[in-house]
Structure 1
């Protein structure tokens, strides 16, 4: 099929026609710096927050659950 051959040739020679434009620079920075930094920030902020081991139904999954407030009459 000629269309498959053209597509393969385009894919094989794509690196020779690549140019750093402002748009491509922003995309590379976003994908290689900003996205991993946001994932790391999310992981750091939730680290040691949850405790999944040995929890029963109805128990909080938080490692340090808030204290229960007793009803004052």
Structure 2
């Protein structure tokens, strides 16, 4: 087993094509309605939702120095 030279095996053309496509994806990318919508959702909506959630729950739970049986909600 140790004497085999695995680098001399022939490469699968589909794997080479996939690697080439992912390497050069930036050359062929275009904004269309679907990609623009996804970009807007991931760049604007998701961080805004996390921000609103963090603002609403700020200070609600205190997880430091709690023992078994203590409640974590402060109000």
Q: Structure 1 length normalisation: TM-score?
A: 0.75
Structure 1 unaligned residues grouped into runs of 5+: 65-73
The answer for the alignment partner of 1:53 in structure 2 is 64
Q: Structure 2 length normalisation: TM-score?
A: 0.73
Structure 2 unaligned residues grouped into runs of 5+: 1-11
Count of residues in correspondence between the two structures: 64
| CA RMSD across the alignment | 1.4
Q: Measure, in 2, the Cα distance between the counterparts of 1:56 and 1:18.
A: 54
The answer for the alignment partner of 2:34 in structure 1 is 23
